[in-house]
Amino acid sequence: MKYLIVGLGNIGAEYANTRHNIGFIVIDALAEKLGAKFEIGRHAYVAETSFKGRKLVLIKPTTYMNLSGKAVQHWLSVEKIPIENSLTITDDLALPFGKQRLRTKGSHGGQNGLRNIQEIMGTDAFARLRFGIGNDYPKGKQVDYVLGKFSLDQEIELKLAIDKSIQGILDFCSIGPDKTMTAFNAG
């Protein structure tokens, strides 16, 4: 079995380690844990690895967040992976910092990367792991907050939250989405 694991974010030094790039941060940590190395590919940085007999194709789209669907569509097609075997990791303003939710379908919730994937793929029936970045910003400062760095307090909690994401991704690929959602969303 093959899985496409998509970390959403924006390329470029100015976006590195920002809240909006939590998808990249999580997928980089997953690649490191599994000993995978990213190389430049079409529309994405790509790494291949395996876990419990399953092939994992990890991508970080180079299309920028708002055009992520182009990379997802390309790699699903090239690798012949059904959309139900894909998992997209993204930031979520509506969830408190560090809180995470795994769903197999649903709305994009205003997240432009998810919106573009839904538009390009013509469905909302693909798994997504939403990583809460909180919404502790003054009125009118949402963009600054999302594109800002994690606070010192958040940095302290970040590693544990990323570890939880990695475990959720590996469970999704090994025991399936239903069992994973039951355990993952309870915490």
- Residue-wise pLDDT tens digits, 64-117: 999 999 999 999 999 999 999 999 999 999 999 999 999 999 989 889 999 999
All structural domains of the chain with their residue ranges: 2-181
Residues with Cβ within 8 Å of residue 58, at least 6 apart in sequence: 5, 7, 27, 30, 31, 36, 38, 46, 47, 48, 49
pLDDT at 183: 92
| CATH (residue range 2-181) | 3.40.50.1470
Torsion angles phi and psi, residue 117, rounded to 5 = -60, -45
Contact 65/112 with Cβ under 8 angstroms? yes
Size of the chain, expressed as the number of residues it contains:
187
- Annotated catalytic residues are 20
Residue range 40-72, pLDDT digits in tens: 999 999 999 999 999 999 999 999 999 999 999
Structure tokens given for 124: 């909302």
pLDDT value, residue 186: 86
Q: Rounded to an integer, what distance in angstroms lies between the CA atom of residue 104 and that of residue 102?
A: 7
Q: Could you read off the pLDDT of 106-164 as tens digits, one per residue?
A: 989 889 999 999 999 999 999 999 999 999 899 999 999 999 999 998 999 999 999 99
**What is the reported pLDDT for 41?**
96
Q: What is the pTM of this model?
A: 0.96
What is the predicted pLDDT for the residue at 73?
98
Contact 5, 58 (CB under 8 A): yes
CA 178/CA 175 separation, integer angstroms:
8
Stretch 14-35: mean pLDDT, rounded?
97
